[in-house]
Homo-oligomer: A and B are copies of this chain.
Amino acid sequence: MIFTAWAMLAVLGVYFWTGVMAGYARVKYGVPAPSMEGPAAFHSAQRVQANTLEQLPIVIVPLWLCATYLGDAWAAAGGLLWCVGRIAYALGYYRDPARREIGFVLGMVASALLIGGTVVGLLMH
């Protein structure tokens, strides 16, 4: 499952980038740990990381299940679609929280496709 393994690393890369941005916001806006209070842009950076973390379980597990029960290339394609959606989500949110929605929906569609692919693969067994 080579393609899926690379897609998994891409998913982790997108998530890692949101973590770096959240850590950078802590420095930029002078919010010392453990405080979580700061300006709106600080909260946005934290929320992007937190929401991406919240989405990880419903992409990583279905990615692996879909690769196992349906096929490597299908799963990897779903993983890459998720990456595109979550990059759009993050860039939109950083500019304006209201602009997070298209990327959010795209990420959800990718998760739904991976779960649907898993169910199809399981039913074919």
Seen from chain A, the residues whose Cβ lies within 8 Å of a Cβ on chain B are 2, 5-6, 8-9, 12, 15-16, 19, 32-36, 40, 43-44, 46-47, 49, 53-54, 56-58, 60-62, 65, 68-69, 93, 97, 100, 115, 118-119, 122, 125
CB distance from A101 to the nearest CB of B (A): 10
A121 closest partner in B (C-beta): B5
Max chain B C-beta neighbours (<10 A), residue from A9, A49, A118, A122:
A9
Question: Given A16-B58, A33-B47, A34-B93, 4 more contacts at CB 8 Å?
Answer: A12-B58, A33-B93, A36-B43, A57-B60
Q: Establish whether residues A69 and B5, one from each chain, have CB atoms under 8 Å apart when the complex forms.
A: yes
